[in-house]
Structure 1
Amino acid sequence: MRIVLVGPPGAGKGTQASFIASHLGVPKISTGDIFRANISQGTPLGVKAKEYLDAGQLVPDELTIDIVRDRLSQPDAVAGFLLDGFPRNVAQAEELDEILADNGVTPSSGKAYLDVVLDLEVDNDEVIKRISGRRLCRNDSGHIFHVDYSPSRDGAVCDICGGELYQRSDDAEGVVRTRLEVYAAETAPIIDYYREQGVLTTIDATGEVDVITGRAFAAVDAARG
């Protein structure tokens, strides 16, 4: 299956993407993960991407599209994939259709090259609370805490490895608000784009993680027929 997840920052796309990709046996392709890996490695792409992300802005289309085109050409993505973080605007959505056509994909119905687009919905206040309260371990251990939902015992140190906890620069409340404004202006219009193609399913992304996952699985299974 060819799947795209859309939704505001903090909607839980990364978490649900992992579960859905595992459920279907397809690769999860996250442009955010690719950018962050390049940032941590100090690559030229990472340096450019960091400037935009730190300001709460989207990475320019040309950089993002080149990465996605290369990734979707790899053998493990031929039979299907789950995209998280792309497309972020209508121009990218149209470019994705062209990439898939160039890769020999035949539209599944009408002009739709994707099987399903899952729109994870959550209100802005909840997004701000989720993201601005997130704290990461500086030891690159991957451990993540939240000041409200899953706090560390002393608030400043990782319970697991003892590393210092910090707030990522693009998780600051002011930046999150900017990210939400950018989402509303740039990304939300693709919801109509995919609704017109008949592949959009909206999912309530509030509540317990496993409940949201159940909603996502039901939507994916319905799309599979």
Structure 2
Amino acid sequence: MRLILLGPPGAGKGTQAERLVRKHGIVQLSTGDMLRAAVDAGTEIGLKAKAVMDAGQLVSDEIVVGIVADRIEEPDAHNGFVLDGFPRTIAQAEALDRMLDDKRMQLDAVIEFQVDEEALVGRIVKRADEAKAAGKPVRKDDNPDVFRRRLQEFRAMTAALSPYYRARGMLHTVDGMAPIDSVETAIEAAIRQASKV
């Protein structure tokens, strides 16, 4: 099973990815984690990424897709994977499609979390308040102004992915504002529907 979770920050993708990992024996692939692991491991593509990051530049789509390509060859990814935070742009989606085609693989479904952005801001404020009350550090992106900026970036770059995957018949939407268990149930229904296509 190979999935992409799409949706703005704070939509619950990470929570649902963890549940998918436990239930289906697949791996969650976060590009940030994979980049750090490739750099730490000193792989060929990791060294390229390190050189770019050390120069203070953004890692190219080619490098990110190369890191994903290497990672999905590892034994723990043989049952499948869920991509969280990638692709972010149409160019990345197209590069991902080409890479998967080269490996004779394909995505099973793209799950989009539909959310009320103002309610999301409220969620973030609540999460920050709960962290403070528990004496835990507050994530730096759990600031309403920072969060609104991230939402704008998401709309500007990533929102175009919905029509891209809809045109390919792969997009399934779930109500990201529903209770966590209900979102999980909706995702499982979408996966079952995708497997019948």
Give the match's secondary structure for 1:87: coil
1:70 to 1:132, Cα distance in 2 relative to 1, 3 A: farther
Residue identity matched to 2:153: V
Name the structure 2 match of 1:184. Answer: 155
Q: CA–CA distance in 1 between the matches of 2:71 and 2:124?
A: 28
Structure-2 change in CA distance of 1:78 and 1:22 (3 Å): same
Q: CA deviation at 1:209?
A: 0.8
Q: Partner residue of 1:15? A: 15
TM-score by length of 2: 0.81
Specify whether residues 32 and 14 from structure 1 end up closer, same or farther in structure 2 by C-alpha distance, changes over 3 A only.
farther
CA contact (8 A) 2:34 2:71 kept: no
The Cα shift of 1:48 comes to: 4.1
- 1:118 & 1:92 partners in 2: Cα distance? 17
Aligned to 1:116: 109
Given that 1:11 and 1:127 are in contact with CA atoms closer than 8 Å, whether structure 2 keeps it comes out as yes
Question: For 2:138 and 2:145, how far apart are their aligned partners in 1?
Answer: 13
SS of aligned partner of 1:216: helix
Shift of 1:74: 1.9
Q: Is the 8 A contact 1:73 1:103 kept in 2?
A: no
CA distance in 1, matches of 2:62, 2:144: 28
TM-score (norm 1): 0.71
RMSD between aligned residues? 2.9
Equivalent residue runs for 1:196-211 within 5 Å: 196-211=167-182
Any unmatched runs of 5+ in structure 1? Answer: 53-57, 106-112, 136-146, 158-164
Unaligned runs of 5+ in 2: 39-45
Contact 1:132 1:176 survives alignment (8 Å):
no
Aligned pair 1:128/2:106, yes or no?
A: no
Match of 2:100 in 1: 100
Q: Which structure shows the higher helix fraction?
A: 2
Between the aligned partners of 2:66 and 2:145, the Cα distance in structure 1 is: 30
Equivalent residue of 1:171, what SS? coil
Output the amino acid matched with 1:71.
R
Q: 1:121 to 1:104 in 2, by over 3 A?
A: same
AA in 2 matched with 1:215? A
Letter in 1 for 2:171: L
In structure 1, the partner of 2:184 is 213
